[in-house]
Amino acid sequence: MNYPHPILAREGWLFIAGSLGLALLASSAGVWSLPFWIVFVFCVQFFRDPARVVAGGEKSVVAPADGRIVVVEEADDPYLNRRALKVSVFMNVFNVHSNRAPLACTVQRKWYMPGSFLNAALDKASLENERCALHLKTADGRDVTCVQIAGLVARRILNYVDAGTVLAAGQRYGFIRFGSRVDLYLPLDTRVKVVIGEKVLASSTVLAELSELS
């Protein structure tokens, strides 16, 4: 799960090898091979998986994915049935698609829901698209919900953790292929530090700071 970084994500090795093989075959056969090489280059850039520095401190909530902030608002958390602060990161096909734990925590529960494949930047994607949600609990008892959401061209959510898994902040726990989104539902007293439209990097951008429990 938390394997040494090979530069290219293991989830993409088959795609990269297959596209390279087709490009080489087309070139050797003397047919027009440019489209195959374009697909190969796209696969290499899509499945890149660089190591990341984990920002912040014990109370920091770091970005679970690379991308752009599309939601910062108070909302209903449909998994824990509470009001929460919702922060959403939209990943386009040019972002790194490894997903990382937003904070040090223990997984309490995991939900998988099949669904549609709407544009992940739309608000209704949070409730209508295919998704996989995790209830995370910090050592001091704060609850965070982290939801992987498939997108318009995404067709596979990969999630490698289950209830009882202990995660370090920034630890890699999943991957979504070809465009997607991650929603975080945070306690209402959390101090959000990002704004809509801001670009963030997984693990290296602090999204918010949790408050001390009273």
SS (H, E, C) 90-103: EECCCCCCEEECCC
Q: What is the DSSP letter of 51?
A: -
Contacts (Cβ under 8 Å, ≥6 apart) of 212: 59
pLDDT digits (tens, 9 = 90+) for 24-40: 998 988 778 899 999 99
Residues 83, 142: one domain? yes
Instruction: Let me know if residue 102 belongs to a domain.
Output: yes
Active site residue 28: no
Residues 116, 176: one domain? yes
Residues 105, 155: one domain? yes
Taking only Cα atoms into account, the Rg of the chain, rounded to an integer number of angstroms, comes to: 18
Which domain covers residue 31, as residue numbers?
Answer: 7-49
Instruction: Let me know if residue 158 belongs to a domain.
Output: yes
Above pLDDT 70, what percent of the chain? 87
Instruction: Let me know if residue 84 belongs to a domain.
Output: yes
Identify the residue with better confidence: 212 or 166.
Answer: 166
Above pLDDT 90, what percent of the chain? 60
What confidence score (pLDDT) does residue 45 get?
Answer: 82
The total number of structural domains that make up the chain: 2
How far apart are the C-alpha atoms of 160 and 175, rounded to whole Å?
A: 9
Residues 142, 42: one domain? no
Residues 136, 78: one domain? yes
Residues 160, 76: one domain? yes
Residues 26, 83: one domain? no
Question: Residues 72, 58: contact at Cβ < 8 Å?
Answer: no
How would you class 137 by CB atoms within 10 Å of its CB: exposed for 0-12, middle for 13-18, buried for 19 or more? middle
Instruction: Let me know if residue 203 belongs to a domain.
Output: no
Instruction: Let me know if residue 209 belongs to a domain.
Output: no
From the candidates 33, 180, 203, 214, give the one annotated as an active-site residue: 180
Residues 96, 16: one domain? no
Residues 106, 24: one domain? no
Q: Which CATH number covers residue 139?
A: 2.70.70
